[in-house]
Amino acid sequence: MSPGTPLAQIVFVPVVMSAIVYLASRRWAERVGWLACATLLYTLALAVAAASRGTLVEEYRWASSINLTFGLRIDGLSAPFVLTILVLSAAISVFSIPYMKHIIGQAHRQYGVYFALYLLYAAGMVGTCLATNLIEFYLFYELMLIPSYFMIAQWGYGERERVSFMYFIWTHAGALLLLAGILTTSAITGTFDISAIPSLLGRLAVPLQTQTWVCAAMLIGFMVKLAAFGLHIWLPYAHAEAPTPISALLSPAMIGIGSYAIVRIPLTFFPQVFQQYRGVLSLWALVTIIYGSMMALAQDDIKRLLAYSSISQMGYIVLGVSSLAAMGLTGSMFHYISHGTCKGLLFMVAGTVILQTHGERGIAKLGGLASKMPLTAIAALVGFLGIMGTPPLNGFQSEWMLFGGVFSQAIRSGNTVDLLVAIVGILATVLTAVYGLWTVRRVFFGPCPKHLEGVVEPPLTVLIPLIVLVCLTVVLGVYPRLALDHLAPAIAELLGGL
Amino acid sequence: MAAWLCWLIPIAGALLVPLLARVDRRLGGYAAVSLCLLAALATSTLLPGAIAGQRVWQQVQWIPQFGLAAGVLADPLSVFLANVVAWLSLLIAIYSLGYMHGEEGSSRYFALFSLFVGGMLLLVLSENLLQMFLGWEIVGVCSYSLIGFWYQDDEQHWVGSPPDAYPPSHAGMKAFLFTKAGDIGMLMAIFMIYASAGTFSFVELGQHSGWLERLAQAGLLVPAALLLFAGPVGKSAQFPLHEWLPEAMAGPTPASALIHAATMVKAGVYLVARMAPILLSGHHDGVATFFTVVAWVGGFTAFMAATQALVQHELKKVLAYSTISQLGYMFLALGVAGLAEDFSAGYTAAMAHLLSHAIFKAALFLAAGSVIHACGTRFMDGMGGLRKAMPITFASMTIVALSLSGVPPLSGFWSKDAILHACLEAEQYALFGLAALTAGLTFFYSLRMIALTFLGPRYAQHDPAHPHKVHEAPAIMWVPSAILAAATALLGLANPFLEDRIRAYFQPVYGLAAHPVAHHEGGAQIAVATSLVMLFLGGFAAWYVYIGRRVSLAQLRQRYHWLGSIRTFLWNRWYVNAFYYHLWRRLLALSELAYARLERGGMDRLQMRLADTVTSTSLSAADRFEAGVFDRLQSSLAAGVGETSQLAYGRVELGVFDQAQGKAASGLTSMSRRVFKRLEMGIIDRLQRLLGRSIVEAGQTYRKTQTGILSFNMLYVLLAFLILLLIFGGAILWPW
């Protein structure tokens, strides 16, 4: 591969490095994590360079017999996703080093397997966002499932084999629905190319009934990934029982890809269906928001609480998508970034607490940790304030744009139901504040119980990723144009073309 | 330029404070004081322009994609607030040097202090709603952090009396959540305004009032205005979102002085003052509803909080309820301003009272901090007779308490009187009565506070064997308080000369009626007379009970039970607080119920049952398939092969070789027949048996691979995946 192919490198260098990481682990044990981190930082640099060039497309011959090319495309919409995934992956690979030490211990080879799978996972996620045709998309979609499945099964907590299998089956079932939609679409249009399909569908004047079924199949597949209400039951298990670095990728990075996919695929292909059923989608999103927050209130396990919080946050994103307004949609996509950094922070904090307290996860047993781990406490506060939408953090920017768009759309359309959904939606953000601040208080404030007297601040390999994410959260909160300058035009163009 | 530096310096400087504190503990405090000084100087430079009626308005691009600019607006209103905030912050920062001396975590305190000052200045100097909201939330976060400053929840830092006692971490959370509830309403209003107007900028909203008409047509003008008011209701602790302020007393006293008396709680007043002229510019009738609500919320809150201040045991809590009450006065004034012909009367009264209150309330809190520090207790039961031991503090505190009560000629008298006058001008007689009654109550609880703290006998300390030696506060703590007491006196004495100047100062903000029109003759005199009467009544009652000690309230309560009931009602905070905790418990119970029944009991169990059904069905199907179908197929296949070979054997053997036998010599053919037969039989037979056995063996071997062990399956899938990858990778790489 020549240096002029950044996107291909972003996807395949981690794949190649995974083999090298595995081989190196016999000598280096957990230090191969640094190798993984270096790989991801390299791909991050490539991604930043590629993204700053605007839109970049690379195409390779794949199976010319069925007219299939292997393409990679980075544009205003996929760039934020790719960059967030890579930043999170790089940061969490560093966090993995001390964390996996307490699970794996001395078995050197296992570090190799872990980091190899980790790199494959990152490659899968990034590939999904860069794919230009539906088969390739599906391939990467399933590809990011497999390494994560193994990692949960091997190093997770609780009934990990069962949980990982549950995660696999649910996601796979959704993916099969997606595949049905993909195959139908390509049968109708004769191509798999994502950029070519919308115009073909438009010209072919496919009946709305058919469009609805195909769109529904795809949408439900993605909603499983997003863990929308009703299809969410796998997520608390998977995120709670996964080893925490993987939880920190599953929740912030992976499930949001479902939202990217919804915008990239069903929304662009079947805008009429979305126009017709936006009310239903927004109601579904609203229920998800409220249900996720309420379930979070009832949790004692920190990681389960964060898992339900993620479900709620995904609801926000879908609400923004359902507005079909430029500001709302931009806010949604930006919310992926905000939720990514903030939830990444929160899961890392949860992992830190587990690490430093030697396995304590129950909130009832925790308390007063701020005096022992002040920097971790600040990171936790930043994380929760972020998802609560507090300025000057990035969560505020994404939430005001999201809700601003939803409100604008509701007022413009004059629809009472839309307005009610907007009002209840924004009221529900109080729930986020409730469980957020309450959790910070229960875990970090108050007197320190006897059994936690020995807790100390985590090592630098944990603190540095935390600090990096805190800085990102604040910087994007004060100057969101770093992302918006690319994202907003892309969304405007996308909506204009509908 | 100055308008930008005012808030940039403290915010940026806040990051420096912890770093400096690492070098030397005291540097953090000095840094904070310096930052406040710089900010105060910057705000002063804006004064000349504001007094001349000029306005500074600058914008830079922030999020141009959605029409959001960042910028400053320094008009008379903002400059007024900015100066109040900056100079008071300076005095309180100096006081904090003494108060936080040697205290653990003081660097965190001073960093938050600086950040707060920057945030507050950002709030008042912002040129648009969303940027103002940014400042609004920054001060909210600082407030949360400062209230919960002693987050380890030591017993001594709790606030309240059981069962209504709360630790600092809880108090901080409560403050944030109550203000958040208000903020959400405000955000909704901001979005509605934006959807209609396409801009967030104050100046643009004021200039082009078409958006008011559009909102009104959609029936959303009054809802948007009221929702916008929800923010101030939360931030300025008005009914029904006022319950966080009493608990906020858990924070360090200078923080209470700064945030919960002098500055942050005024943010709501600022917003209403900012938006009121804009709302009026559309000349829409519905706006009157907004102003009526503002006035009544203010008036009712003033009364309610004053009644609750009557029964407090903690010194800071009296001040907290007093703050809520006085803020109510400000909203009352702004509300009646919008209902009157002459907008300037109520508006000027509100602003005057804001200044007045900021000065005397800050002084009260600083003095209270000195007293609490000296006595080692927050309860007035542990004070008393401090007049001799702390004379300067006694003098300052008494002066400002009198100003709070509206005793002439102190500044509080003039501003409160102006509010009463404004009520009369707007013909709001019910509100006038409420305000006047509250004034009487105010004097009562103020005198009560002074009496219990400074007069009378010295109450017993916790340990009578070791009486706490009480002495005057260090200079760094009594000087700021004394300065403010002097200021309140001077302001009061100078008021007759300043009144018209102040009115003229604010006039450019709303640009309405140029000269005050007193419609109701004698209104001013009635107001003064009424306030003096109420002062007399309230003062006499307080003297009778607490200073002259002519009667014991405890005995009165025993004789007249209804007095006791009133006291309980007031002590229980009109049951509003209890109601909120009841709501919270309900919410938690509902969540837990939904989790148990709907999530675990419903959806989770459904998926588990589905999984179990699928697994057991496939298991039994597999068994049945193997036993019933596969095995049978296997044996019939083996048998079939046997039969076919028999048939083939018969045909080939008998058909071909018999003929050959008939033609050829007997010995050769018979021999060849025998050999061939053996070969044939041997081969076919063995083949047949081999085939049968192979099929069975293959089946057995294949069955062995279905171990059901996860790692094996993992291996298979991984192998398959690697093969797929190789194929696809190869396909791509092949051209290279």
Tokens (6 digits) for B309: 């201040």
Query: Distances in Å between the alpha carbon of B362 and those of A332, A406, B90, B397, B513?
Result: 44, 42, 12, 10, 34
Which among A396, A400, A445 has CB closest to B151? Answer: A445
CA distance A350 to A478: 26
Name the residue in chain B with its Cα closest to that of A231: B603
Quick one: pLDDT at residue B513? 47
The residues that bridge with B379 in the sheet, in sequence order, are: B314
Distance in Å, alpha carbon of A206 to nearest chain B alpha carbon: 33
Is the CB of B194 less than 8 angstroms away from the CB of A408?
Answer: yes
Q: Is B715 on the interface with A (CB under 8 A)?
A: no
Distance in Å, alpha carbon of B151 to nearest chain A alpha carbon: 5
- Four-CA torsion A175, A176, A177, A180, nearest 10 degrees: 120
Q: Is A370 on the interface with B (CB under 8 A)?
A: yes
pLDDT one-digit tens code per residue, B268-313: 999 999 999 998 887 777 889 999 999 999 999 999 999 999 999 9
CA distance A48 to B340: 60
Distance in Å, alpha carbon of B602 to nearest chain A alpha carbon: 10
Report the Cα A138 to chain-centroid distance in Å: 17
Which among A15, A70, A430 has CB closest to B181? Answer: A430
Whether the upstream peptide bond of residue B240 has omega within 30° of 0, thus cis, is yes
The residues that bridge with B225 in the sheet, in sequence order, are: none
Which among B167, B721, B732 has CB closest to A146? Answer: B721
Q: Which of A255-264, B221-230, B478-487, B559-568 has the lowest mean pLDDT?
A: B559-568
Is the CB of A403 less than 8 angstroms away from the CB of B187?
Answer: yes
Query: At residue B238, does pLDDT exceed 70?
Result: yes
Taking contacts as CB-CB distances below 8 angstroms, the residues of chain B near A477 are none
Taking contacts as CB-CB distances below 8 angstroms, the residues of chain B near A169 are 611
Q: DSSP label at A72? A: E
Backbone angles phi, psi at A368, to 5 degrees: 60, 25
- Model confidence band, residue B462 (pLDDT cutoffs 50, 70, 90): very low
Q: Is B158 on the interface with A (CB under 8 A)?
A: no
Q: Is A446 on the interface with B (CB under 8 A)?
A: yes
* Nearest CA among A188, A175, A487, A171 for reference residue A338: A487
Q: Is A430 on the interface with B (CB under 8 A)?
A: yes
The mean per-residue pLDDT over the stretch A379-387 comes to 96
Is the CB of A426 less than 8 angstroms away from the CB of B595?
Answer: no
Distance in Å, alpha carbon of A213 to nearest chain B alpha carbon: 24
Q: Is A291 on the interface with B (CB under 8 A)?
A: yes
Distance in Å, alpha carbon of B593 to nearest chain A alpha carbon: 8
CB interface of B with A, residues 24-43, below 8 Å: none
Distance in Å, alpha carbon of B615 to nearest chain A alpha carbon: 13
Report the Cα A121 to chain-centroid distance in Å: 13
Distance in Å, alpha carbon of A445 to nearest chain B alpha carbon: 5
Query: At residue B165, does pLDDT exceed 60?
Result: yes
- Model confidence band, residue B660 (pLDDT cutoffs 50, 70, 90): low
Distance in Å, alpha carbon of A414 to nearest chain B alpha carbon: 8
The mean per-residue pLDDT over the stretch B211-234 comes to 92
pLDDT one-digit tens code per residue, B499-555: 888 888 988 888 754 455 556 677 788 889 999 999 999 999 888 888 887 778 888
Buried b (16+ CB within 10 A) or exposed e, B349-384: bbbbbbbbbbbbbbbbbbbbbbbbebbebbbbebbb
Tokens (6 digits) for B496: 């007759």
Backbone angles phi, psi at A18, to 5 degrees: -65, -40
Distance in Å, alpha carbon of B225 to nearest chain A alpha carbon: 15
Quick one: pLDDT at residue A441? 95
- Tokens 């002084």 identify what position? B363
- Model confidence band, residue A351 (pLDDT cutoffs 50, 70, 90): very high
Is the CB of B591 less than 8 angstroms away from the CB of A297?
Answer: yes
Is the CB of A481 less than 8 angstroms away from the CB of B735?
Answer: no
The residues, any chain, with a CB within 8 Å of residue B496's CB and separated by 6 or more, are: none
Query: At residue B690, does pLDDT exceed 90?
Result: no
Query: At residue A1, does pLDDT exceed 70?
Result: no
Q: Is A402 on the interface with B (CB under 8 A)?
A: no
Return the number of other C-beta atoms located less than 10 Å from residue B313's C-beta. Answer: 15
Quick one: pLDDT at residue B663? 64
ipTM score here? 0.92
First to last CA, chain B: 61
Quick one: pLDDT at residue A405? 93
pLDDT one-digit tens code per residue, A55-113: 888 888 777 777 678 889 999 999 999 999 999 999 999 999 999 988 888 888 889 99
Quick one: pLDDT at residue B208? 83
How many CA atoms within 13 Å lie on the side-chain side of B42?
26
Helices (H), B151-198: 168-197
- Model confidence band, residue B466 (pLDDT cutoffs 50, 70, 90): very low
CB interface of A with B, residues 9-38, below 8 Å: 12, 15
Q: Is A438 on the interface with B (CB under 8 A)?
A: yes
Tokens (6 digits) for A205: 């004047």
CB interface of A with B, residues 308-367, below 8 Å: 327, 330
pLDDT one-digit tens code per residue, B368-402: 999 998 888 888 888 888 888 889 999 999 999 99
Q: Are B311 and B446 in contact (CB under 8 A)?
A: no
- Model confidence band, residue A320 (pLDDT cutoffs 50, 70, 90): very high
Distance in Å, alpha carbon of A287 to nearest chain B alpha carbon: 13
Query: At residue B89, does pLDDT exceed 70?
Result: yes
pLDDT one-digit tens code per residue, B617-640: 988 888 887 777 777 877 888 788
Distance in Å, alpha carbon of A279 to nearest chain B alpha carbon: 19
Q: Is B725 on the interface with A (CB under 8 A)?
A: yes
pLDDT one-digit tens code per residue, B705-717: 666 666 666 777 7
Quick one: pLDDT at residue B514? 44
The continuous run of DSSP H or E covering B641 comes out as: helix B631-649
Tokens (6 digits) for A204: 């072919």
Strand pairing class (A56-63; B68-74): unpaired
Quick one: pLDDT at residue B520? 66
The mean per-residue pLDDT over the stretch A116-124 comes to 95
Query: At residue B464, does pLDDT exceed 60?
Result: no
- Model confidence band, residue B496 (pLDDT cutoffs 50, 70, 90): confident
For chain A, give the percent of residues with pLDDT over 70: 99
pLDDT one-digit tens code per residue, A254-294: 999 999 999 999 999 999 999 999 999 999 999 999 999 99
Quick one: pLDDT at residue A199? 87
The mean per-residue pLDDT over the stretch A412-441 comes to 93
The residues, any chain, with a CB within 8 Å of residue B238's CB and separated by 6 or more, are: B232, B268, B297, B298, B301, B324, B327, B328, B331
Quick one: pLDDT at residue B657? 64
CA distance B444 to B537: 9
Query: Distances in Å between the alpha carbon of A35 and those of A42, A46, A348, A461?
Result: 11, 17, 20, 14
Name the residue in chain A with its Cα closest to that of B154: A447
More confident position, A101 or B260: A101
Is the CB of B140 less than 8 angstroms away from the CB of A401?
Answer: no
Report the mean per-residue pLDDT for chain B.
Answer: 87
pTM of the predicted protein model: 0.88
For an interface test with B, which of A60, A241, A390, A494 has the most B Cβ atoms less than 10 Å from its Cβ?
A: A390
Taking contacts as CB-CB distances below 8 angstroms, the residues of chain A near B142 are none
Q: Are A173 and A225 in contact (CB under 8 A)?
A: no
Tokens (6 digits) for B517: 């029109």
Taking contacts as CB-CB distances below 8 angstroms, the residues of chain A near B177 are 430, 433-434, 437
The mean per-residue pLDDT over the stretch A461-477 comes to 95
For an interface test with B, which of A294, A398, A476 has the most B Cβ atoms less than 10 Å from its Cβ?
A: A294
Is the CB of B594 less than 8 angstroms away from the CB of A430?
Answer: no
How many CA atoms within 13 Å lie on the side-chain side of A428?
26
Helix, coil or strand: residue B57: strand
Q: Is B169 on the interface with A (CB under 8 A)?
A: yes
Interface size, chain A vs chain B, as Cβ–Cβ contacts under 8 Å: 145
Taking contacts as CB-CB distances below 8 angstroms, the residues of chain A near B137 are 390-392, 396
More confident position, B678 or A362: A362
Q: Are B256 and B183 in contact (CB under 8 A)?
A: no
Q: Is B194 on the interface with A (CB under 8 A)?
A: yes
Helices and strands, number each (H, E), in chain B: 29, 2
For chain A, give the percent of residues with pLDDT over 90: 76
The length of chain B is 736
Which among A401, A429, A437 has CB closest to B176? Answer: A437
